[in-house]
């Protein structure tokens, strides 16, 4: 009987005992892709997978990603890629942001996740930078670890989960790097999340509202992000928490 090496044994590699190896692989494999493409850090876009081309938020995400990519491509003469657009790699707002970056002829990242409905990666993600995850927490790690800014468009449970986790990391200073967070779509966010009520009930400080910049304007979002990144992150390339 031929002996099988442990790392080539699919029964072992899919077992509970090998779970730490699978988790480690979801750190090392994305790291190798990002290093190969010289991606230093990212601007992360979150938002609904259900908003399609022609929707005002889809088109705003597409335009904003396009403009940020055009701007970021000229930042590093040494060829390191700074402030690369990064999404969850799926449809909707994710597709829009990857599409805008692609239309600006920029590399962009898609961090996809295995789901029961088997959503496929959108066609605009740079193929070398499409990383597929089993573990949600490892996917979230890569969103947070590389991010130097966050743009959150209207979305459902997943978007809210991602937004509040990032807000918690910033509020509690577990994330010590500057993290500009833009909430795009005032009507949506004012109706869906009453942040002012959290202040009135004493569950957050009034100063915590300053962790977010809210707007309906691509021009305003772009200007705010560029200003913050130039002042706080340009001289600090690389992945940090």
Inform me whether the pLDDT recorded for 101 exceeds 90. Answer: yes
In the chain the domains, ranked by start, together with CATH numbers, are: 14-232 (3.40.50.450)
> Per-residue pLDDT tens for 161-170?
999 999 999 9
Chain-centroid distance of CA 123 in Å reads: 17
- For the segment 202-208, the average pLDDT, to the nearest whole number, is 96
Question: How much is the pLDDT for 202?
Answer: 97
> Per-residue pLDDT tens for 47-74?
999 999 999 999 999 999 999 999 999 8
Over its C-alpha atoms, the chain yields an Rg (Å, rounded) of: 19
Question: How much is the pLDDT for 166?
Answer: 96
- Helix (H, G, I), strand (E, B), or coil: what is residue 72? helix
Question: How much is the pLDDT for 1?
Answer: 62
Q: How far apart are CA 215 and CA 89, in angstroms?
A: 24
**Helix or strand (DSSP H, E) at 85:** strand 84-87
In contact, 237 and 40? CB cutoff 8 Å: yes
Bridge partners of 181, per DSSP, are 150
For residue 178, count other CB atoms closer than 10 A to its CB: 14
Q: Rounded to two decimals, what is the model's pTM?
A: 0.93
Inform me whether the pLDDT recorded for 229 exceeds 80. Answer: yes
Q: How far apart are CA 240 and CA 177, in angstroms?
A: 7
């Amino acid at each position: 009987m031929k002996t099988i090496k442990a790392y080539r044994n699919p029964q072992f590699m899919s077992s509970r005992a090998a779970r730490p190896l699978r988790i480690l692989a979801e750190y090392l494999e994305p790291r190798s892709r990002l290093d190969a493409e010289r991606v230093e850090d990212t601007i992360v876009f979150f938002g609904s997978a259900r908003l399609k081309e022609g929707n005002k938020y889809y088109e705003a995400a597409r335009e904003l990603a396009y403009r940020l990519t055009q701007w970021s491509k000229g930042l590093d003469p040494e060829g390191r890629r700074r402030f690369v657009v990064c999404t969850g790699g799926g449809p909707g707002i994710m597709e829009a942001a990857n599409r805008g970056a692609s239309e600006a002829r920029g590399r962009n990242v898609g961090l996809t996740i295995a789901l029961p409905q088997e959503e496929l990666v959108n066609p605009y993600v740079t193929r070398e930078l499409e990383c597929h995850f089993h573990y949600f927490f490892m996917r979230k790690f890569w969103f947070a670890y590389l991010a130097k800014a966050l743009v959150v468009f209207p979305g459902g449970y997943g978007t809210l989960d991602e937004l509040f986790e990032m807000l918690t990391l910033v509020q509690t200073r577990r994330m010590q790097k500057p993290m500009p967070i833009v909430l795009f779509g005032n009507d949506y966010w004012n109706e869906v999340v009453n942040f002012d009520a959290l202040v009135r009930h004493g569950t957050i400080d009034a100063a915590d509202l300053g962790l977010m910049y809210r707007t309906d304007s691509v021009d305003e979002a772009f200007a705010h992000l560029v200003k913050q990144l130039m002042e706080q992150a340009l001289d600090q390339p690389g992945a940090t928490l």
